[in-house]
A and B are shown apart, each in its own frame.
Chain A
Amino acid sequence: MKRGILLGAICLLPFFLRAQGKAVSIKLVSFEHLQQRLQQGTDTTFVVNFWATWCGPCLEEIPYFDRLQEKYSSKKVKVLLVSLDFRSQLKTGVIPFVKKSELISEVILLDEADHGAIIEKIDPSWSGALPATLLVNTATGAGKFHEGSFNFDELEAFYLLTQ
């Protein structure tokens, strides 16, 4: 009997997990809060991708970020997908996209109206065009910034530069 329940539970587990996966919640995060996040962890490499649902090249490369997170899951690597969509697009654009693409990486929406000031702080070389990717290794203090798209090999090479 007990065995039956256990077996049943195991069989139902995938459905339960899938149902869990469908509940997408995306946090609105201030820039200050993002900065704090990037200081947490003693030997973590943050791969921070700035994207938006309206940016075609961004959507093309997002699966590579998920793949990187998966491939290096044994390492302390944390992919953060930071959406720069308008706040009004959260429910109508960002959440549906994240659900549909079944992303494993954490997605947040940057809750700031004046992006100009932030761009400068993220990297003075950034023009503001998307996509853009920031890498921060909290152990070595090494950081890298890239404006433009990646294919998977380029992204991996970019990540490995700081390892």
Chain B
Amino acid sequence: MKHQLFLFGALFFLALPAARAQQSYSDGYAIGDKATSFSLKDVSGKMVSMDDYDSAKGYIVIFTCNTCPYSKAYESRISDLHEKYASGGFPVLAVNPNDPEVSGGDSYEAMKERAAAKGFEFPYLFDPGQIITKQYGPQRTPHVFLLEKTSEGNVVRYVGAIDNDTENTNPDKISYVEQAVKAIKSGRQPDPATTKAIGCGVKWQKS
């Protein structure tokens, strides 16, 4: 059995072009990168800027949307994160990364409806032209970028999933984002610093 698994592993290893190795987020931010600050329109119509959060120690930036079942499955957990950590300096900033032309259910109007229906307490932001989305580089929804505010700027400390149990049925699930926030608060680097999950691909503007 062990031998077989090894063979299987070897198959995949052979399949990998060398250039791909360990480059998990080719075009987006990687751990240690300085993330751009943004100012985007909330569902209430007001602009929300990272710079407005004077007492923030960091930001839980979550790319999420209206339409993806994985995003929907995580909505209450995103609210919980905001409730739990905003007052301690780590607010959730949710950004809808999808192009509304490609994904009609992710229009600004639809975002307003969703936020009202679900009672989002966290800012749910629209990114016209996907400008911020392109810089951060989420590949799916939901996709988290946890930033630490430093004197040098906002540094990317964790990239990945909210936890390892989308269906929320496992009592022993690992809450990656919570772990990562706690690590930063106590001056440690999150471990793991990156995780993966199944999710809906980001709906990019058709060129």
Interchain CB contact under 8 A, B25 and A145? no
Interchain CB contact under 8 A, A86 and B69? yes
Q: Is A88 interfacial (CB 8 A cutoff)?
A: yes
Q: Is A33 interfacial (CB 8 A cutoff)?
A: no
Bound complex: CA of A105 vs CA of B140, how far in Å? 27
Given A57-B201, A141-B10, A128–B165 Cβ distance below 8 Å?
no
Q: Per-residue 0/1 for A124-149: is the Cβ within 8 Å of any B Cβ (1 yes, 0 no)?
A: 11111110000010000111110010
Report the minimum CB–CB distance from A40 to chain B (whole Å). 10
Report the minimum CB–CB distance from A55 to chain B (whole Å). 6
Q: Specify the chain A residue showing the minimal Cβ separation from B103.
A: A56
Bound complex: CA of A88 vs CA of B140, how far in Å? 22
Which of B11-19, B54-62, B125-133 participates in binding chain A?
Answer: B11-19
Q: Is A16 interfacial (CB 8 A cutoff)?
A: no
Interchain CB contact under 8 A, A124 and B69? no
Which of B41-49, B81-89, B108-116, B191-199 participates in binding chain A?
Answer: B191-199
Bound complex: CA of A149 vs CA of B200, how far in Å? 13
Q: Is A20 interfacial (CB 8 A cutoff)?
A: no
Q: Per-residue 0/1 for B30-51: is the Cβ within 8 Å of any A Cβ (1 yes, 0 no)?
A: 0000000000000000000000
Given A141-B11, A143-B11, A86–B167 Cβ distance below 8 Å?
yes
Q: Per-residue 0/1 for B129-169: is the Cβ within 8 Å of any A Cβ (1 yes, 0 no)?
A: 00000000001100000000000000000001100111101
Bound complex: CA of A55 vs CA of B18, how far in Å? 30
Bound complex: CA of A51 vs CA of B20, how far in Å? 23
Report the minimum CB–CB distance from B151 to chain A (whole Å). 32
Q: Is A84 interfacial (CB 8 A cutoff)?
A: yes
Given A121-B12, A123-B15, A130-B201, A39–B7 Cβ distance below 8 Å?
yes
Contacting B199 at CB < 8 Å: which of A38, A121, A128? A128
Q: What's the A-B contact tally at a CB cutoff of 8 Å? A: 103
Count residues on chain A whose CB falls below 8 Å from chain B CBs.
Answer: 36
Contacts of B22 in A (CB 8 A): 124
Contacting B196 at CB < 8 Å: which of A36, A52, A120, A136? A120
Report the minimum CB–CB distance from A112 to chain B (whole Å). 10
Contacts of B20 in A (CB 8 A): 124-125
Report the minimum CB–CB distance from A158 to chain B (whole Å). 12
Q: Across chains A and B, which 8 residue pairs bring their CB atoms closest together, nearest first?
A: A143-B15, A127-B139, A129-B201, A125-B20, A129-B140, A119-B196, A115-B198, A114-B164
* A contact residues vs B (CB 8 Å cutoff): 35-36, 38-39, 52, 54-55, 57, 84, 86-88, 113-117, 119-130, 136, 141-145, 148
* B contact residues vs A (CB 8 Å cutoff): 4-5, 7-12, 14-16, 20-25, 68-69, 73, 139-140, 160-161, 164-167, 169-170, 173, 195-202
